[in-house]
Amino acid sequence: MWAAGALVLLALPFYLDRFWLQAGLFAMAAAIGAIGLNLLTGAAGQLSLGHAFFLAVGAYGYCVFAGESTGSQIGLALPTWLAAVLAVLVSGVAGGLFSPVAGRLRGAYLGIATLALIFIGQHVLFNARDVTGGFNGRDVPPLSLFGLTFDDAEVVVAAVPFGSSEKLWYAGLLLLLGSGLFARGVLRGRPGRALNALRDHQVAAGVIGVPVARYRGAVFVLSSMYAGIAGVLLALVFQRTVPDYFGMALSLEYLAMIVIGGLGSVGGAVVGAVFVSLLPQLLTRYSDVLPLVSDPGSGGVAPGEASRYLYGAAVVAVVLFLPGGLTSIAARRIRTTPREKR
């Protein structure tokens, strides 16, 4: 089944149009960011409402490092692959600067503290026009790697023209695979056991020798770097960064992803990210045939609002009836199937 699923994912760019490929890329970027937040919130029990801030750092960091200087904007014109790496590192540095706070706060107190990052980030994005482009944002230089440029210049592969979406599809798959495997290794190793101990009982974790502040700060930095990777991928897919996207609503969406999919699980983060990120795009695509859903200002519910209602209801349903998230359904089937056979 894993091999068949991998083959299907590799073959999709040959058969899907641009809309579905971009929707898939948004889901991949969301899944990477959700994995990072799940390490922080699901595994370590640290509530963060500032995840969108670190996505913005990754996205705009890439634009600054890779872009060229103009009369109104600053750019360093570095090789784009190096710009992507530096953008992720800068996201980690931003998380590191906040890690002393994250290492000493927990629960709602940390959530309120991280909420301040959203307000600070929005102020900077709108007013630091030399760096961010202000309200209109700034263009995103296409990624170039090993002589291949991930732009709209078509490259014919097996009689199929590959544009930016087709090329980025495989880059997104590699990033998602690497991010998922790394996070899975962290959760299954000694750091994962230490993080779970912090989540379940902080005092007991400290008694058995877990350095509480250091682990909390480290997982916050790691989560920030995951958000930076997601921000770079989102910027490459959007091809333009705008401040409005990186607001409070985006942070809430990421919290909804990990709750719906399953806290503390890499697979849960991916499933929740796919659900939350694809829902508004599907509603927009099929708004003309869905009841009560229509274009904004036409009398019905806008697709974006309808999607928030639906995944908000999904969060309530999961909390009440399925605490382990959607992935717990598959886990139950795996546990019960051998018993039924016996």
pLDDT 10s digits, 233-253? 999 999 999 999 999 999 999
pLDDT at residue 309 above 70? yes
The Cβ of residue 204 has, within 10 Å, a number of other Cβ atoms equal to: 11
The pLDDT assigned to 331 comes to 65
CA distances from 12 to 52, 152, 162, 165 (A): 29, 18, 12, 11
| Helix (H/G/I), strand (E/B), else coil: 205 | helix
pLDDT at residue 296 above 70? no
In sequence order, the 6+-apart residues with CB closer than 8 A to the CB of 335 are none
Residue 313 corresponds to which amino acid?
A: A
Name the pLDDT band for 297 (thresholds 50, 70, 90): low
What end-to-end distance do the CA atoms of the chain give, in Å? Answer: 23
Q: What is the mean pLDDT of residues 110-133?
A: 92
pLDDT at residue 48 above 70? yes
The pLDDT assigned to 57 comes to 96
Question: What is the average pLDDT score of the chain?
Answer: 88
Q: Give the residue among 261, 258, 218, 264 at the shortest CA–CA distance from 100.
A: 218
For residue range 178-221, list pLDDT tens digits in order. 999 999 999 999 999 999 898 888 888 888 888 888 889 999 99
Q: How many residues in the chain? A: 342
DSSP string spanning 243-275? GGGSSHHHHHHHHHHHHHH-TT-HHHHHHHHHH
**Strands, E assignment, 119-168:** 138-139, 144-145, 148-149, 155-157, 160-162
Name the pLDDT band for 341 (thresholds 50, 70, 90): very low
CB 57 within 8 A of CB 36: no
Place of tokens 């290794």: 185
202 burial (CB, 10 Å; 0-12 / 13-18 / 19+) is: middle
pTM of the complete model = 0.92
The pLDDT assigned to 55 comes to 96
pLDDT at residue 342 above 50? no
Name the pLDDT band for 40 (thresholds 50, 70, 90): very high
Name the pLDDT band for 333 (thresholds 50, 70, 90): low
Q: What is the mean pLDDT of residues 4-13?
A: 89
Q: Give the residue among 113, 78, 87, 115 at the shortest CA–CA distance from 226.
A: 87
Angle between helices 18-37 and 51-66 (to 10 degrees): 120
For residue range 268-292, list pLDDT tens digits in order. 999 999 999 998 888 888 877 777 7
**Strands, E assignment, the chain:** 138-139, 144-145, 148-149, 155-157, 160-162, 240-241
- Which structure tokens are listed for 192? 């994962």
The pLDDT assigned to 336 comes to 60
Name the pLDDT band for 338 (thresholds 50, 70, 90): low
